A and B are shown apart, each in its own frame.
Chain A
């Protein structure tokens, strides 16, 4: 059988680097708005403790990095959602960014593929 794959376009990657423990809070918030397929991995952050001085002890240097792909139309909505869920308006909490993706691919159900096969 000949295998084929479909490329998805107009996708954007949203990445949030937050304090350890907030990764799950963000993925839960994303699931609530119907965004599935987030990836979380751990990392170590450097720099914020030095800048906060004594308060730095309250900031966990261990970080969760959340990656999630969304359609470019939805970026603003999801971006805001992640910002609020991760409490990124707190000093030392973390940061986030959105990157336009050139290409993306995954399993696309045949029922959806058939809609596009004509064009």
Chain B
């Protein structure tokens, strides 16, 4: 595992915010993710289908939210240095036909392993004042 390009382990403090980002998700974002990932479930672009299965409308792919969370951590960690990433999908993000859904990401140091020189980064993701991911954690290999 390449860690030479990773962030320095020394000096990291528990609770320290290492990265933050606010992202505006539009229907364009969802269509782009569908094409890039190959996930063409119509609940991510078709209102009628989404409502027929009990959703409030078109929702973002959970994996788009998770992937963006990873990108926020990666901007600090360096590409290829997130060695483990997990989450639960606890709340859908409705995305309007016109306009955007605002999603905020905050990544904090949750735990440090001095022997492995890894940092567990806990990611809080919110839309409309509510958390949308549960136990979103990344393990970053540090230099």
A binds B: no
By a beta-carbon cutoff of 8 Å, the part of chain B in contact with chain A is none
Using a CB–CB distance below 8 Å, which chain A residues touch chain B?
none
